[in-house]
Each structure stands twice: as structure tokens, then as C-alpha cells.
Amino acid sequence: MLERKKVKGRTQVTFVLPDDSPMGPVSVVGDFNHWNPAAHPLQTRGDGTRAAKVVLPVGGSHAFRYLADGGHWFDDDQADGHDGGNSRVHT
């Protein structure tokens, strides 16, 4: 799930997953962080989810995926779109 908030002419995108699915550590990786799994690991929140926040320019479109423990890549079913192998978020 994607949450958005406008912040000083930019868009803060929060990437959200359930706390237990999939099990183990998960990172959001994409063109906004040079596909670096260490850049945005999801952190547990008090509401039973885990999330990572990324601030992006308004009016852009970015490719991303999630990377789970064991090298398991997966997409966000609720993303703004998909372009073959990646999910897309529009700001």
C-alpha cells in the first residue's frame, strides 16, 4: 500500500506492508535509491504494519519493488501501475 503526503513542494511516499507478510526483513528498492536494499528498510509501526518513507519530486513516476529476506523480490499489488518487472508510483 502507498500513502502520500505533500511536503514543501515534494511528495512523501510511505511504502506500507503488513508486519508479518512476508516474514523477515523487507526493503523498498527503486530508481529513487539506485536499487540499494540498505537505503530504505521497512520499520515496524504500532498499527501492525511496517513502512519506509521516501521524499520524491512532484510530478514524477518511479519504478520500485520490495526485496525480502532470502533474495525474494515482489511487487506492490496496490501500486499506481506496473511496467513489466516493476511496480510504479506516481507523485
Query: In order of start, what are the domains of the chain with their CATH numbers?
Result: 2-83 (2.60.40.10)
What is the number of other CB atoms lying within 10 angstroms of the CB of residue 4? 14
Q: What is the pLDDT of residue 3?
A: 96
Report the pLDDT value the prediction gives residue 50, as an integer from 0 to 100: 97
pLDDT given at position 21: 84
Q: What is the pLDDT of residue 47?
A: 94
Question: Quick one: pLDDT at residue 84?
Answer: 85
- pLDDT value at residue 30: 98
Q: Binning pLDDT at 50, 70 and 90, where does residue 85 land?
A: confident
Determine the longest span between alpha carbons in the chain, in angstroms: 37
Q: What is the DSSP string of 57-86?
A: ETT-EEEEEEEEGGGEEE--TTSSEE-SSS
Q: Residues 16-70: pLDDT tens digits?
A: 999 988 999 999 999 999 999 999 999 999 999 999 999 999 999 999 999 999 9
Q: Is the pLDDT of residue 13 over 90?
A: yes
CB 37 within 8 A of CB 27: yes
